[in-house]
Amino acid sequence: VAATTADVNGAGATSFEFDFQPMDDPFAQADDNPRRASQLLENYASDETVVYKEQQTANDTPLTRTGLTPADHVVKLDVDDTYEGLPSKVVAAILWGTANDYDYFFKVDSDVFMMPTKFMAFLKRNAIDKGVDWMGSENKMRETDENPSGWKCSLSRVWHYGKCSRPELNSMPYEGVNPISVDGGHGYFLSKRAMRGVTEYVDAMYDLMEKNKYVNIYEDQMVSHILINQGFLPVDFTGIAVFNVPGITQLAAQNSCTLMTGPIGPAVGENLNKMAHLRMSTGINMYETIFGFTPMSIDESMLPRSLLEVGIQPYVTPQSMLLKFGYWQRRMENEADSMRNEAEELGVKLPADDAEDTTTYEAKGEGGTEPVSPAAETKA
């Protein structure tokens, strides 16, 4: 049995071969999926603890003009809000998105500085328009001369030390799943197909997931494990489907450390070399700052090319977030002033800064509003 993965400029056109019988087709009962996701959510929260504060009506103006705070648009689930509970928390969020028939899902950590408009444009060009189901930042492989592939797995098994609320976990090395994956901190994108695949897996494997709840405590590894089990392979933010090579099997994809020393290691290594080159040449590199690769020492004046190209930058403290946003605003204002001065010299009239927004909004779903667009309606 084979499942075709997303085609990204030809990189993902090969077939992902299952080396054992997969579960039932996760899309065979697609119309029933939201209802099943709603039922599964009961494992994570009751009706009293699931709150979605959507206060807009069809007559409301855009969100920026309603006076609503971010807290008015937050989904609250009664989940384990500890470090080790993050896998359950993210899975519950994906189930919620499926139950509410969302088309796209993006998980991101709270220490990521994001420019939504730029990032959404990046996702549309590089993921949505190309039919990608799962996109993120590959960050587990490191260059080496220890094997012919030139790369090796570098999963840290003590990353959780000092972070867990259960003391015993802070001295136990990670022994959970270790598939090929994308970084959970940088964030990853899922399509509706991928979200529904997660829902189907949880439906079939919930008891096993609960049994290993405090073994598989690395959220990005657990979600990657689920997606691979459902027939998906990740695409890096550079657009390269690094692990989609001839001979890739589900079993091989579930063990990233032995993958690079096996027969398909060199082919994956070639893709990793291409990815590394593209990251440096295009600026799609989440670790790059103006002071080099020092993600842990970010100040407000650091605007790496990754932020300018993709729209996100990880590892930013709450204090630096505000400073960075202020720096970005000043930079944009300076550029706008320069543009106005140049236009004035050329005799070109620019639109006024406070020009009225003439975008027409219409109702969507239960109480939501969205701009009218000729493109297909989506929820993200």
Mean pLDDT by groups of 10 residues along the chain of 380 residues: 31 37 41 73 54 41 44 74 92 90 92 84 94 94 93 94 96 96 93 95 92 96 96 95 94 93 95 90 64 44 68 79 74 74 74 48 41 49
Supply the pLDDT for residue 44.
Answer: 64
Alpha carbon distance 83, 218 (integer Å): 9
Q: What are phi and psi of 220, to 5 degrees?
A: -65, -30
User: 292 - beta bridge partners?
Assistant: 289
Supply the pLDDT for residue 71.
Answer: 59
Exposed, middle or buried, 43 (CB in 10 Å: 0-12/13-18/19+)?
middle
- Residue 371 parent element (H or E): strand 368-371
Supply the pLDDT for residue 94.
Answer: 94
Q: pTM of the entire structure?
A: 0.74
CA–CA distances in Å: residue 64 to residues 6, 41, 67, 69, 357: 35, 31, 7, 9, 12
Supply the pLDDT for residue 250.
Answer: 92
Alpha carbon distance 250, 232 (integer Å): 9
Q: What are phi and psi of 138, to 5 degrees?
A: -70, 125
Which two tokens mark 277?
Answer: 């080159």
Sign of CA dihedral 46, 50, 55, 61: negative
